[in-house]
Amino acid sequence: MSMMSRRGVLGATAGLAAAGALGHPLARPALAQPRFPNRPLQMIVPWGAGGGTDATARIIAALLEKELGQPVNVVNRTGGSGVVGHSAIAMANPDGYTIGIITVEIAMMHWQGLTELTHANYTPLGLMNRDAPGVQVSASSPYKDIKALAEGIKNSPPGKLKASGTGQGGIWHLALVGWLQAMGLKPDHVRWVPSNGAAPGMQDLVAGGIDIVPCSIPEARAMLDAGRARSLAIMAPERDPQFPDIPTLKESLGVDFQTAVWRGIGGPLKMPAEQVAILTAALERVYKSKEYSDFMKSRGFGMDWADGPGFGKVMAETDAAMGVAMKAAGLTKA
């Protein structure tokens, strides 16, 4: 007995020493406020620790902590391809102390029949990030610009060209479908090769296995920097200030198609109006802080802000657009 408990205690002390040494030199709240919030908040992340959404949530939580004067604890609730965490946000107690980061998947999952949840189950608090997909080809590809690629796609027999970057019915697959339809082509004119995320897709692009990867530019960035791939256009209303050399689809091709992934903060329905106002104002200050823009720049993530109603509108628009694209691609649950 004594042996075992000693081991446990030793382990714990060593661990605590490690935590102490690594430290949390974050400013403690200066003033305790009499009104909301007067205890720690919880921020639910529906995706795993270490990924892009997790990192975004953690930087927002750290800055929100400074704004609100209360700790904001990040909790990863993974499982069910994002469904579990998104439900946890929607079903939380609507007292303003549990919020979460909502991702674009909420506009897609219900069309596939995976969950009843839609954007209408949340109180939107603020949009924090938006990334548009680019059209990436390998550096050795014969298509030098988006016009040449569009011509190449139109002149190739259906199914000859292949694209990849996410699973069947994933966001980048829908971006491709939307673009093809905007050009007046069939949704499966370019065949989709399901992959386990954008990174394997980019690798296969460079290895010569596929022709196009329509993933977001931050995901393609390392290969672009390495000179192994080229981004021909971006599916956004205007150029990305971080990548000013990449033209939009509209200016280069005259095709007005745009889509994006986004991340925003939301809470369950029926939150008190006062709490909503305080949180939205704090999020706006977080968004405008230098720390936030420095972080987003370092990751290459696109900045975009909208307040609660604005974020709600973005979610509703995406939801409708995804529904159209998914029906066209035959991905909706009959």
Partner 1 sequence: MQLSDRITGSCLVALGGVTVYGALQQPGVPGQDVGPSVFPMVIGLGLMGCGSLVALRIGHSFEAPDDVVPPEPGEVVARPPRFAEWRAFLPPLLLLFYMLAVESLGFLLTAAAISLAVSFTMGARARLALPLAVLAPLGIHAIFVRLLRVPLPDGLLTLPW
Partner 2 sequence: MTDLFEGLRLVLQTDVLIAIAASAVYGLVIGSLPGLSATMATALLVPVTFYLSPIAAVATIITASAMAIFSGDIPGCLLRIPGTPASAAYTDEAYAMTRKGQAELALGTGLWFSAIGGIAGTLSLLIMAPALAEVALNFSSFEYFWLAVLGLMCATLVARSSPVKAIASMLLGLLFSCIGMENPAGTPRFTFGMTDLLGGIEPLPALVGVFAVSQVMRALSEAEPPPLPRRRFGSIMAGQWALTKKYPKPMMRGNIVGIIIGVLPGAGADMAAWVSYALSKRFSKEPQKFGTGHPEGLVESGASNNASLASGWVPALLFGIPGDTITAIAIGVLYMKGLNPGPTLFTERASSMYALYIIFILANIIMIPLGIIMIRVAATVLRAPRASIMPIILLLCAVGAFATGNNLFAVLLVAFFGTLGYVMERNGYPVAALVLGIVMGSMVEQSFVTSLIKSDNSIMPFFDRPISAVLAAITLGALLWPVAAWLIRRMKARAPAVAGASGGHANG
- 324 contributes a contact to partner 1 by CB under 8 A: no
SS3 163: strand
Binder of partner 1 out of 95, 145, 188, 284 (CB under 8 A): 188
Query: Cβ–Cβ contacts within 10 Å for residue 265, how many?
Result: 29
Q: Smaller CB distance to partner 2: residue 137 or 314?
A: 137
Tally of residues, the chain: 334
Burial class (CB in 10 A: 0-12, 13-18, 19+), 175: buried
What span, in angstroms and rounded, lies between the C-alpha atoms of 204 and 71? 43
Pair 139, 295: CB distance under 8 Å: no
CB of 41 to partner 2, least distance (A): 15
Footprint of partner 2 on 45-64 (CB under 8 A): 48-52, 54-55, 58-59, 62
- 1 contributes a contact to partner 2 by CB under 8 A: yes
Footprint of partner 1 on 63-82 (CB under 8 A): 73, 75
What span, in angstroms and rounded, lies between the C-alpha atoms of 125 and 100? 10
Binder of partner 1 out of 191, 250, 285, 313 (CB under 8 A): 191
Residue with tokens 């973005």: 314
Footprint of partner 2 on 184-213 (CB under 8 A): 191, 193-196, 199-200, 202-204, 206-210
Binder of partner 1 out of 140, 168, 196, 293 (CB under 8 A): 168
Stretch that binds partner 1, among 82-90, 133-141, 183-191, 227-235 (CB under 8 A): 183-191
- What is the per-residue binding string for partner 1 in 117-156, x denoting contact by CB under 8 A? ----------------------------------------
Footprint of partner 2 on 69-128 (CB under 8 A): 74-81, 83-84, 87, 112, 114-115
What span, in angstroms and rounded, lies between the C-alpha atoms of 121 and 125? 13
Comparing CA positions, the residue from 289, 259, 319 lying closest to residue 124 is 319
Hey, CA dihedral for 301, 307, 312, 313, is it positive or negative? negative
